[in-house]
Amino acid sequence: PVETRSRPTKPLLGEGTDFTVYIKNFIRFPKFNFSKTNVLDTTDRTFLKSCKFSPENPYCPIFRLGSVVSWTGSNFQEIAVQGGVIGIQIEWDCDLDKAPSECYPRYYFNRLDNRFSGNSISS
């Protein structure tokens, strides 16, 4: 939300649940000559235009804002009015003795602000 002294009553971008964010992540272990990204290595040029992240599709780093907020246990409309801070942790589970295809990212979403404080994020 835009910072003002008065408390907002309706969301600035209430329809933003379907907005997306692209999160590109890259890991590298130079000692083992190993690197990997969270984007699927494909020759399909339309892949990133059509995919959306899901736990079953961890190599599509396109996240719906509504999904990200819900994975924190929060309500999108509430955050759209009051504002909020969300942390996204990416954990790579890699056993370098196994095939590179078995090294994959896991995402954890947490609400970092105090949503019960009664203040908007900007106050």
From first to last of its 123 residues, what are the pLDDT tens digits of the chain?
556 666 667 777 778 899 999 999 999 999 999 999 999 988 998 999 999 998 888 899 999 999 999 999 999 988 888 888 999 999 998 898 998 888 889 999 999 988 666 555 554
| pLDDT for residue 34 | 93
In whole angstroms, give the CA distance from residue 59 to residue 63: 11
Map out the domains of the chain with their CATH numbers.
14-111 (2.60.490.10)
**Strands (DSSP E) along 1-95, which ranges?**
20-22, 26-29, 34-37, 62-64, 86-93
In whole angstroms, what is the distance from residue 60 CA to residue 3 CA? 33
pLDDT at 71: 95
- What pLDDT is stored for residue 14 in this prediction? 73
Q: What is this structure's pTM? A: 0.78
- Give residue 62's pLDDT: 96
Alpha helices in the chain (DSSP H): 47-50, 65-71, 76-82
Output the pLDDT for position 56.
84
